[in-house]
Amino acid sequence: MSVTAAVALVALGVCAAAFLVVRAALYEQLDLTLTQSARLAAQREPGAGPGVLAGECRFLAAPACAEVVSADPAKKPTEPGRLPVAPAAREVAEGKRAPYYTNITVAGYPARMLTTDYAKGRALQVALRADTVEDGIEEAARWLVLTAVVGVLLAALLGHWVSRTGLAPVARLTATAERIAATRDARHRIELPPPGREDEITRLATSFNTMLGELEQSVAAQRQLVADASHELRTPLTALRTNAELLARADRLTPEQRERASAALGRQLREVTGLVNDLIELARDEEPQPLVEQVSVGALVEHCVQSARAHWPAVPFHLRAPAEPVVVPGVPARLSRLLGNLLDNAAKFSRDGLPVEVDLVAGGPGRGPELSVRDHGPGIAPEDLPHVFDRFYRAGAARALPGSGLGLAMARQIARAHSAELTAEAAPGGGALFRLTF
């Protein structure tokens, strides 16, 4: 409606301006004729007294009527005049006023009159019939009004068509959003025009489809996480319930059986607690900003390696770090969890007597610090490599080992929260190699 109203106003404005231009042009032509007639009359009779100088002033028949007017009202013309004499005409005769044009009516006909100076104490009035000019102005007005009406109607029709056509993607976008809100199904998409007809609305629809795709993936990942968590929790919860029921009948068990059941119950409680804590941490997408500080990566890596040596006494850990300090912004506790997960994963797959190699590189111009953790275990199969950071994913070689499959997923999430990138690859000569690049 706003576009139609704007176009209609423009059409009316153009027609009004055209009417004024046509009217001014027609009167300008008539005024030019009056000026030329006045000049010719003054040249023929330079000293004539008051009265009709030329033409027929009773009916304004061609040529133009010319009449001399005296500044003194007492001086009557020798021949009765037919043109009206206003006080302003006598002011022109006295030289007190400039020549001027005026519209008059003579014998029932519209006329245009020029009053100009003639001689000392006298003025000259020249008049022509203006009915042809008035007829032309009325004809132009009729055509311009018709044009304005047609323009407004066309503006309304074209505005309606343009709005329906141009805003069709917006209508589809709105319908899709309402359908998603009603069904909670993010699989819906907006239909896009064929290639080559892209515009701003199409770009908006494309961005909305991209957002829907991200939303669908997020919802799918959330559902998958819930399903995987339910699956992983089912077994330890069942074992917990079994051991709890067994301990409830402790009077029927031997001391050794009670001790084994109690130890199993405590171990399973620790596993469930760790799994729940891991799930809670995975639900966090970013680190709390108030906890971010400048972290010395060298000291943090050395501390994590010392902890890993205590936890895995049978696995040797070799650490190489630069002498100069390496500092990055981050949350120390979260970075410790990341490094601990990498070291535990490497120690879990290391073969007896073979070391876990930890290398810290300070970085250089254009690149940040890099930490690599390598083991000498069985390595990562090519089919498992794309999935090592997926939640609850466990390769065939790891299914017999303890763990929930959340350690590497959590490590990558912590890395991304610190604007770092964690990658995995097969190490040359066997084993797995993880790189953390800040």
Q: Residue 346: which of 336, 360, 337, 357 has the closest Cα? A: 357
Higher per-residue pLDDT: 8 or 432: 432
- So what's the pLDDT on residue 303? 93
Give percent above pLDDT 70 in the chain. 79
The two most distant CA atoms of the chain are separated, in Å, by 155
- 3-class SS of residue 81: coil
Given a contact cutoff of 8 angstroms between Cβ atoms, the answer to whether 90 and 123 are in contact is: yes
Asked if 374 contacts 427 with a C-beta cutoff of 8 angstroms, the reply is: yes
- pLDDT tens-digit readout, 244-260: 877 777 777 788 877 88
Burial of 280 (0-12, 13-18, 19+ CB in 10 A): exposed
What would the mean pLDDT of 96-113 be, rounded to a whole number?
84
The pLDDT value recorded for residue 12 is 82
**Least-confidence region, from 121-135, 201-215, 332-346:** 201-215
Cis peptide before 63 (omega within 30 of 0): yes
pTM above 0.75, yes or no: no
Which pLDDT value is given to residue 161? Answer: 81
The mean per-residue pLDDT over the stretch 290-308 comes to: 88
Tell me the DSSP string of 102-156: EEEEETTEEEEEEEEEEETTEEEEEEEE-HHHHHHHHHHHHHHHHHHHHHHHHHH
Domain boundaries, the chain: 2-136, 200-282, 289-437
> Do residues 29 and 137 make contact, with C-beta atoms less than 8 angstroms apart?
no
> 117 to each of 52, 121, 294, how far by Cα in Å?
15, 9, 96
CATH topology match: 200-282 vs 289-437: no
Residue-level pLDDT at 151: 81
pLDDT band of 71, cuts 50, 70, 90: confident
Closest CA to 436 of 365, 348, 341: 341
Q: Which CATH architecture has domain 200-282?
A: Orthogonal Bundle (1.10)
The verdict on domain 289-437 having CATH code 3.40.50.720 is: no
pLDDT (0 to 100) of residue 437: 92
- pLDDT tens digits along 141-174: 889 888 888 888 887 888 778 777 766 767 777 7
Q: Are 337 and 345 in contact (CB under 8 A)?
A: no
